[in-house]
Amino acid sequence: MPVYEYKALNHKGKQISGLLDADNIKTAKTKLRDSKIFPISIHEVTARAGKQKIQFSLFRSKIRVSEIAMMTRQLSTLIAAGFPLTTALNTMVPQTRKESFKRVLSKIKDTIEEGSSFADALANFPGIFSSVYVNMVRAGEASGTLEIVLERLADISEKQHKLNHKLKSAMAYPVLMTMVGAGVLFFLLTVVVPNITSIFEEMNQALPLTTQILIRTSSFLKQGWWIIICAIILLMIGWQMIKKKSRVQRAIDQFILRLPLIGELVLKISVARLTRTLGSLLENGVALLDALDIVRNVKGNKIIEKAIVEARDEVERGRELGDVLGQNPYFPYLAVQMIKVGEKSGTLESMLKKTAQVYDDEVETSLMGMTSLLEPIIILVMAVVVGFIVLSICLPIFEMNQLVK
Protein backbone atom coordinates (compact mmCIF):
# COMPACT_ATOMS: atom_id res chain seq x y z
CA MET A 1 0.00 0.00 0.00
CA PRO A 2 1.42 3.44 -0.92
CA VAL A 3 2.59 5.81 1.79
CA TYR A 4 1.57 9.49 1.61
CA GLU A 5 3.18 12.44 3.33
CA TYR A 6 0.85 15.29 4.16
CA LYS A 7 0.66 18.78 5.61
CA ALA A 8 -2.69 19.72 7.08
CA LEU A 9 -4.64 21.79 9.60
CA ASN A 10 -6.22 20.16 12.62
CA HIS A 11 -9.54 21.17 14.18
CA LYS A 12 -7.75 23.94 16.14
CA GLY A 13 -6.27 25.42 12.97
CA LYS A 14 -2.73 24.33 13.84
CA GLN A 15 -0.55 23.11 10.99
CA ILE A 16 0.58 19.49 11.34
CA SER A 17 2.38 16.94 9.15
CA GLY A 18 2.70 13.21 9.05
CA LEU A 19 2.46 9.97 7.08
CA LEU A 20 -0.58 7.99 6.02
CA ASP A 21 -1.22 4.66 4.28
CA ALA A 22 -3.91 4.67 1.60
CA ASP A 23 -4.76 3.08 -1.75
CA ASN A 24 -4.65 6.44 -3.52
CA ILE A 25 -4.57 10.20 -2.88
CA LYS A 26 -8.36 10.46 -2.85
CA THR A 27 -8.64 7.78 -0.15
CA ALA A 28 -5.86 9.49 1.83
CA LYS A 29 -7.73 12.81 1.76
CA THR A 30 -10.94 11.08 2.86
CA LYS A 31 -9.15 9.43 5.79
CA LEU A 32 -7.74 12.76 6.88
CA ARG A 33 -11.09 14.53 6.67
CA ASP A 34 -12.75 11.71 8.62
CA SER A 35 -10.18 12.38 11.36
CA LYS A 36 -11.10 16.08 11.27
CA ILE A 37 -7.80 16.93 9.63
CA PHE A 38 -7.91 19.21 6.57
CA PRO A 39 -5.04 18.59 4.11
CA ILE A 40 -3.02 21.46 2.63
CA SER A 41 -0.73 19.30 0.53
CA ILE A 42 -0.34 15.55 0.09
CA HIS A 43 1.98 13.46 -2.06
CA GLU A 44 3.15 9.88 -2.30
CA VAL A 45 6.49 8.92 -0.80
CA THR A 46 7.94 6.62 -3.42
CA ALA A 47 10.67 4.14 -2.57
CA ARG A 48 13.39 6.15 -4.24
CA ALA A 49 12.21 9.57 -3.12
CA GLY A 50 11.50 8.21 0.31
CA LYS A 51 15.05 7.02 0.79
CA GLN A 52 16.46 10.31 -0.39
CA LYS A 53 14.26 12.24 2.02
CA ILE A 54 15.11 9.89 4.84
CA GLN A 55 18.83 10.24 4.24
CA PHE A 56 18.53 14.03 4.15
CA SER A 57 16.49 14.04 7.30
CA LEU A 58 18.93 11.71 8.99
CA PHE A 59 21.76 14.05 8.06
CA ARG A 60 19.97 16.76 9.96
CA SER A 61 18.67 14.61 12.81
CA LYS A 62 20.30 11.21 13.18
CA ILE A 63 18.24 8.34 14.49
CA ARG A 64 19.77 7.39 17.83
CA VAL A 65 20.52 3.92 19.16
CA SER A 66 18.08 4.49 22.04
CA GLU A 67 15.24 5.13 19.57
CA ILE A 68 16.02 1.93 17.66
CA ALA A 69 16.17 -0.01 20.95
CA MET A 70 12.78 1.36 22.05
CA MET A 71 11.21 0.54 18.67
CA THR A 72 12.64 -2.99 18.75
CA ARG A 73 11.33 -3.72 22.24
CA GLN A 74 7.87 -2.33 21.45
CA LEU A 75 7.74 -4.37 18.24
CA SER A 76 8.76 -7.51 20.15
CA THR A 77 5.97 -6.91 22.70
CA LEU A 78 3.33 -6.41 20.01
CA ILE A 79 4.36 -9.53 18.07
CA ALA A 80 4.44 -11.61 21.27
CA ALA A 81 0.90 -10.37 21.98
CA GLY A 82 -0.28 -11.84 18.68
CA PHE A 83 -0.15 -8.82 16.37
CA PRO A 84 0.85 -9.53 12.75
CA LEU A 85 4.12 -7.85 11.80
CA THR A 86 2.58 -5.29 9.43
CA THR A 87 -0.14 -4.43 11.95
CA ALA A 88 2.47 -3.99 14.68
CA LEU A 89 4.51 -1.66 12.44
CA ASN A 90 1.39 0.26 11.47
CA THR A 91 0.57 0.71 15.17
CA MET A 92 4.05 2.07 15.91
CA VAL A 93 4.24 4.64 13.09
CA PRO A 94 1.97 7.30 14.69
CA GLN A 95 3.65 6.75 18.07
CA THR A 96 7.09 7.58 16.67
CA ARG A 97 8.04 11.21 17.28
CA LYS A 98 10.81 11.70 14.73
CA GLU A 99 9.53 12.21 11.19
CA SER A 100 12.55 10.51 9.59
CA PHE A 101 11.96 7.37 11.64
CA LYS A 102 8.26 7.44 10.76
CA ARG A 103 9.18 7.36 7.08
CA VAL A 104 11.57 4.47 7.67
CA LEU A 105 8.96 2.37 9.48
CA SER A 106 6.32 3.18 6.88
CA LYS A 107 8.57 2.13 4.02
CA ILE A 108 9.54 -1.06 5.86
CA LYS A 109 5.87 -1.94 6.31
CA ASP A 110 5.18 -1.08 2.67
CA THR A 111 8.04 -3.30 1.50
CA ILE A 112 6.79 -6.22 3.61
CA GLU A 113 3.28 -5.85 2.18
CA GLU A 114 4.81 -6.05 -1.30
CA GLY A 115 6.12 -9.52 -0.47
CA SER A 116 9.60 -8.98 1.00
CA SER A 117 10.78 -10.42 4.28
CA PHE A 118 11.28 -8.23 7.34
CA ALA A 119 15.05 -8.69 7.12
CA ASP A 120 15.15 -7.66 3.45
CA ALA A 121 13.05 -4.59 4.24
CA LEU A 122 15.47 -3.61 7.03
CA ALA A 123 18.44 -4.15 4.70
CA ASN A 124 17.20 -1.22 2.57
CA PHE A 125 18.33 1.10 5.38
CA PRO A 126 21.95 0.10 6.15
CA GLY A 127 22.66 3.46 7.76
CA ILE A 128 20.08 2.70 10.46
CA PHE A 129 20.00 -1.07 10.88
CA SER A 130 23.39 -2.77 11.05
CA SER A 131 24.26 -6.07 9.38
CA VAL A 132 24.10 -7.70 12.82
CA TYR A 133 20.55 -6.43 13.32
CA VAL A 134 19.42 -7.58 9.86
CA ASN A 135 20.99 -11.03 10.12
CA MET A 136 19.58 -11.68 13.58
CA VAL A 137 16.11 -10.74 12.32
CA ARG A 138 16.64 -13.06 9.35
CA ALA A 139 17.54 -15.90 11.72
CA GLY A 140 14.48 -15.12 13.86
CA GLU A 141 12.18 -15.23 10.85
CA ALA A 142 13.66 -18.54 9.70
CA SER A 143 13.27 -20.13 13.16
CA GLY A 144 9.86 -18.62 13.96
CA THR A 145 11.19 -16.83 17.05
CA LEU A 146 11.14 -13.25 15.78
CA GLU A 147 9.76 -11.78 19.02
CA ILE A 148 12.56 -13.43 21.05
CA VAL A 149 15.22 -12.21 18.63
CA LEU A 150 13.82 -8.68 18.72
CA GLU A 151 13.90 -8.70 22.52
CA ARG A 152 17.57 -9.75 22.45
CA LEU A 153 18.33 -7.08 19.88
CA ALA A 154 16.69 -4.52 22.15
CA ASP A 155 18.93 -5.68 24.99
CA ILE A 156 22.03 -5.35 22.80
CA SER A 157 21.01 -1.87 21.60
CA GLU A 158 20.26 -0.70 25.15
CA LYS A 159 23.60 -1.96 26.44
CA GLN A 160 25.38 -0.25 23.55
CA HIS A 161 23.51 2.99 24.31
CA LYS A 162 24.35 2.64 28.00
CA LEU A 163 28.04 2.17 27.21
CA ASN A 164 28.07 5.16 24.85
CA HIS A 165 26.34 7.25 27.52
CA LYS A 166 28.98 6.23 30.08
CA LEU A 167 31.77 7.20 27.70
CA LYS A 168 30.24 10.60 27.01
CA SER A 169 29.48 11.22 30.68
CA ALA A 170 33.00 10.26 31.72
CA MET A 171 34.57 12.62 29.18
CA ALA A 172 32.13 15.51 29.62
CA TYR A 173 33.78 17.03 32.70
CA PRO A 174 37.40 16.82 31.45
CA VAL A 175 36.38 18.24 28.07
CA LEU A 176 34.48 21.07 29.75
CA MET A 177 37.45 21.84 32.00
CA THR A 178 39.76 21.88 28.98
CA MET A 179 37.50 24.22 27.01
CA VAL A 180 37.02 26.61 29.95
CA GLY A 181 40.74 26.56 30.70
CA ALA A 182 41.63 27.25 27.06
CA GLY A 183 39.14 30.12 27.00
CA VAL A 184 40.59 31.65 30.16
CA LEU A 185 44.15 31.37 28.85
CA PHE A 186 43.15 32.91 25.52
CA PHE A 187 41.56 35.84 27.37
CA LEU A 188 44.65 36.31 29.52
CA LEU A 189 47.05 36.20 26.57
CA THR A 190 45.04 38.46 24.25
CA VAL A 191 43.55 41.01 26.69
CA VAL A 192 45.30 41.05 30.07
CA VAL A 193 48.91 40.28 29.13
CA PRO A 194 49.23 42.95 26.35
CA ASN A 195 48.06 45.67 28.75
CA ILE A 196 50.60 44.63 31.38
CA THR A 197 53.54 43.99 29.06
CA SER A 198 53.07 47.32 27.25
CA ILE A 199 55.04 48.99 30.05
CA PHE A 200 58.06 46.84 29.17
CA GLU A 201 58.33 48.45 25.73
CA GLU A 202 59.59 51.68 27.38
CA MET A 203 62.44 49.83 29.07
CA ASN A 204 65.83 50.12 27.42
CA GLN A 205 67.10 46.79 28.73
CA ALA A 206 66.85 43.29 27.40
CA LEU A 207 63.86 41.35 28.64
CA PRO A 208 64.15 37.81 30.03
CA LEU A 209 63.64 34.97 27.54
CA THR A 210 60.39 33.87 29.18
CA THR A 211 58.98 37.39 28.89
CA GLN A 212 59.97 37.61 25.23
CA ILE A 213 58.24 34.27 24.55
CA LEU A 214 55.11 35.46 26.38
CA ILE A 215 54.97 38.78 24.46
CA ARG A 216 55.43 37.09 21.07
CA THR A 217 52.86 34.42 21.88
CA SER A 218 50.39 37.04 23.04
CA SER A 219 50.96 39.15 19.92
CA PHE A 220 50.49 36.14 17.63
CA LEU A 221 47.26 35.06 19.31
CA LYS A 222 45.87 38.60 19.27
CA GLN A 223 46.64 39.22 15.57
CA GLY A 224 46.60 35.74 14.09
CA TRP A 225 43.79 33.97 15.94
CA TRP A 226 41.97 33.51 12.62
CA ILE A 227 44.97 31.59 11.28
CA ILE A 228 44.64 29.12 14.16
CA ILE A 229 40.91 28.67 13.50
CA CYS A 230 41.49 28.13 9.76
CA ALA A 231 44.30 25.67 10.51
CA ILE A 232 42.05 23.69 12.87
CA ILE A 233 39.26 23.55 10.26
CA LEU A 234 41.69 22.44 7.53
CA LEU A 235 43.17 19.80 9.82
CA MET A 236 39.71 18.46 10.61
CA ILE A 237 38.78 18.28 6.91
CA GLY A 238 42.12 16.69 6.04
CA TRP A 239 41.74 14.19 8.88
CA GLN A 240 38.31 13.13 7.61
CA MET A 241 39.69 12.65 4.11
CA ILE A 242 42.83 10.78 5.13
CA LYS A 243 41.22 8.45 7.66
CA LYS A 244 38.94 7.00 4.94
CA LYS A 245 41.94 5.29 3.36
CA SER A 246 42.24 1.75 4.71
CA ARG A 247 46.02 1.84 5.21
CA VAL A 248 45.86 5.10 7.11
CA GLN A 249 42.91 3.89 9.19
CA ARG A 250 44.78 0.68 10.01
CA ALA A 251 47.84 2.65 11.12
CA ILE A 252 45.68 4.98 13.23
CA ASP A 253 43.85 2.07 14.88
CA GLN A 254 47.13 0.31 15.61
CA PHE A 255 48.54 3.49 17.14
CA ILE A 256 45.44 3.91 19.32
CA LEU A 257 45.66 0.33 20.60
CA ARG A 258 49.28 0.90 21.61
CA LEU A 259 48.52 4.04 23.60
CA PRO A 260 48.74 3.61 27.39
CA LEU A 261 45.35 3.54 29.14
CA ILE A 262 43.41 4.68 26.05
CA GLY A 263 44.48 1.67 23.97
CA GLU A 264 43.51 -0.70 26.75
CA LEU A 265 40.12 0.97 27.11
CA VAL A 266 39.42 0.82 23.36
CA LEU A 267 40.39 -2.85 23.30
CA LYS A 268 38.08 -3.69 26.21
CA ILE A 269 35.17 -1.90 24.51
CA SER A 270 35.86 -3.77 21.27
CA VAL A 271 36.09 -7.16 22.99
CA ALA A 272 32.87 -6.53 24.94
CA ARG A 273 30.90 -5.61 21.81
CA LEU A 274 32.45 -8.41 19.77
CA THR A 275 31.72 -11.18 22.26
CA ARG A 276 28.19 -9.95 23.03
CA THR A 277 27.24 -9.72 19.36
CA LEU A 278 28.87 -13.03 18.46
CA GLY A 279 27.15 -14.76 21.38
CA SER A 280 23.75 -13.37 20.38
CA LEU A 281 24.19 -14.45 16.75
CA LEU A 282 25.18 -17.99 17.74
CA GLU A 283 22.32 -18.16 20.23
CA ASN A 284 19.87 -17.33 17.44
CA GLY A 285 21.06 -20.12 15.17
CA VAL A 286 23.58 -18.30 12.98
CA ALA A 287 26.51 -20.55 12.05
CA LEU A 288 29.89 -19.62 13.55
CA LEU A 289 31.52 -18.83 10.18
CA ASP A 290 28.59 -16.63 9.14
CA ALA A 291 28.57 -14.96 12.56
CA LEU A 292 32.28 -14.14 12.25
CA ASP A 293 31.62 -12.63 8.82
CA ILE A 294 28.95 -10.41 10.36
CA VAL A 295 30.77 -9.24 13.50
CA ARG A 296 34.00 -8.25 11.79
CA ASN A 297 32.43 -4.90 10.84
CA VAL A 298 30.88 -4.25 14.26
CA LYS A 299 33.96 -2.73 15.83
CA GLY A 300 35.10 -0.12 13.32
CA ASN A 301 38.70 -0.99 14.23
CA LYS A 302 40.77 -2.27 11.31
CA ILE A 303 43.17 -4.24 13.53
CA ILE A 304 40.35 -6.09 15.28
CA GLU A 305 38.59 -6.57 11.93
CA LYS A 306 41.72 -8.13 10.45
CA ALA A 307 42.04 -10.45 13.44
CA ILE A 308 38.43 -11.62 13.02
CA VAL A 309 38.93 -12.21 9.27
CA GLU A 310 42.04 -14.28 9.96
CA ALA A 311 40.24 -16.18 12.73
CA ARG A 312 37.32 -16.92 10.41
CA ASP A 313 39.67 -18.40 7.79
CA GLU A 314 41.44 -20.55 10.37
CA VAL A 315 38.15 -21.79 11.86
CA GLU A 316 37.03 -22.76 8.36
CA ARG A 317 40.18 -24.90 8.11
CA GLY A 318 39.15 -26.75 11.25
CA ARG A 319 40.89 -24.90 14.08
CA GLU A 320 39.11 -23.73 17.23
CA LEU A 321 38.27 -20.05 17.66
CA GLY A 322 39.98 -19.74 21.05
CA ASP A 323 43.26 -21.14 19.75
CA VAL A 324 43.29 -18.77 16.79
CA LEU A 325 42.48 -15.66 18.84
CA GLY A 326 45.09 -16.71 21.42
CA GLN A 327 47.80 -16.20 18.81
CA ASN A 328 46.74 -12.62 18.22
CA PRO A 329 48.77 -10.16 20.35
CA TYR A 330 45.84 -7.78 20.82
CA PHE A 331 43.24 -10.14 22.26
CA PRO A 332 43.22 -10.24 26.09
CA TYR A 333 44.26 -13.49 27.74
CA LEU A 334 41.12 -13.71 29.89
CA ALA A 335 38.80 -13.42 26.88
CA VAL A 336 40.70 -16.11 25.01
CA GLN A 337 40.58 -18.50 27.98
CA MET A 338 36.85 -17.99 28.48
CA ILE A 339 36.22 -18.68 24.78
CA LYS A 340 38.31 -21.86 25.00
CA VAL A 341 36.33 -23.04 28.02
CA GLY A 342 33.07 -22.36 26.16
CA GLU A 343 34.22 -24.36 23.13
CA LYS A 344 35.34 -27.34 25.20
CA SER A 345 32.19 -27.39 27.33
CA GLY A 346 29.81 -26.77 24.44
CA THR A 347 28.54 -23.52 25.98
CA LEU A 348 30.29 -21.03 23.70
CA GLU A 349 27.23 -18.74 23.46
CA SER A 350 26.85 -18.30 27.23
CA MET A 351 30.61 -17.91 27.76
CA LEU A 352 30.75 -15.20 25.11
CA LYS A 353 28.00 -13.31 26.94
CA LYS A 354 29.81 -13.72 30.26
CA THR A 355 32.97 -12.42 28.63
CA ALA A 356 31.07 -9.37 27.41
CA GLN A 357 29.74 -8.73 30.91
CA VAL A 358 33.23 -9.04 32.42
CA TYR A 359 34.67 -6.50 30.00
CA ASP A 360 31.70 -4.17 30.40
CA ASP A 361 32.52 -4.03 34.12
CA GLU A 362 36.20 -3.46 33.34
CA VAL A 363 35.33 -0.65 30.93
CA GLU A 364 33.33 1.09 33.64
CA THR A 365 36.20 0.72 36.11
CA SER A 366 38.72 1.98 33.56
CA LEU A 367 36.54 4.99 32.75
CA MET A 368 36.33 5.97 36.40
CA GLY A 369 40.10 5.61 36.74
CA MET A 370 40.82 7.67 33.62
CA THR A 371 38.42 10.40 34.68
CA SER A 372 39.97 10.68 38.12
CA LEU A 373 43.40 10.84 36.49
CA LEU A 374 42.51 13.38 33.80
CA GLU A 375 41.16 15.99 36.20
CA PRO A 376 44.40 16.55 38.16
CA ILE A 377 46.42 16.45 34.93
CA ILE A 378 44.32 19.25 33.42
CA ILE A 379 44.60 21.28 36.63
CA LEU A 380 48.37 20.73 36.69
CA VAL A 381 48.78 21.85 33.07
CA MET A 382 46.70 24.96 33.76
CA ALA A 383 48.79 25.71 36.84
CA VAL A 384 52.04 25.39 34.86
CA VAL A 385 50.82 27.70 32.08
CA VAL A 386 49.47 30.32 34.51
CA GLY A 387 52.68 30.07 36.52
CA PHE A 388 54.71 30.68 33.36
CA ILE A 389 52.63 33.79 32.59
CA VAL A 390 53.02 35.14 36.13
CA LEU A 391 56.77 34.44 36.15
CA SER A 392 57.24 36.07 32.74
CA ILE A 393 55.51 39.23 33.99
CA CYS A 394 57.22 39.34 37.37
CA LEU A 395 60.82 38.82 36.23
CA PRO A 396 61.15 42.21 34.42
CA ILE A 397 59.51 43.93 37.39
CA PHE A 398 62.07 42.38 39.75
CA GLU A 399 64.89 43.55 37.46
CA MET A 400 63.43 47.08 37.42
CA ASN A 401 63.39 47.13 41.24
CA GLN A 402 67.03 46.05 41.36
CA LEU A 403 68.00 48.86 38.96
CA VAL A 404 66.15 51.41 41.10
CA LYS A 405 68.04 50.26 44.18
DSSP string, 176-189: HHHHHHHHHHHHII
DSSP 165-230: HHHHHHHHHHHHHHHHHHHHHHHIIIIIHHHHHGGGGG--SPPPHHHHHHHHHHHHHHHHHHHHHH
DSSP string, 218-274: HHHHHHHHHHHHHHHHHHHHHHHHHTTSHHHHHHHHHHHHHSTTHHHHHHHHHHHHH
Backbone φ and ψ for 35, nearest 5 degrees, come out as -90, 10
Domain definitions of the chain by residue range? 1-44, 258-363
CB contact at 8 A, 277 and 156: yes
- Give residues with Cβ within 8 angstroms of 256, minimum separation 6: 262, 263, 266, 301
Residue type, 43: H
Give CATH for domain 258-363: 1.20.81.30
Cβ burial 303-332 (10 Å sphere, 16+ → b, else e): bbbbbbeebbebbeeeebbbebbeeeebbb
Burial class (CB in 10 A: 0-12, 13-18, 19+), 5: buried
DSSP 3-state assignment of 21? Answer: strand
| Whole-angstrom distance, CA of residue 231 vs CA of residue 237 | 10
Question: pTM of this prediction?
Answer: 0.66
What tens-digit pLDDT sequence spans the chain (405 residues)?
Answer: 566 677 777 767 777 776 666 667 777 777 777 777 777 777 776 543 334 333 333 333 478 888 888 888 889 899 988 888 888 888 888 778 788 888 888 889 888 988 888 988 998 888 888 877 888 888 888 778 888 888 888 888 888 788 778 888 878 888 888 888 888 888 888 888 888 877 776 666 677 888 888 888 888 888 888 888 898 899 888 877 776 676 777 888 888 888 888 888 888 888 888 888 888 888 877 888 888 887 876 656 788 888 888 888 999 999 999 999 888 888 889 999 999 999 998 888 889 989 988 988 888 888 888 888 888 888 898 889 889 888 888 888 777 666 555
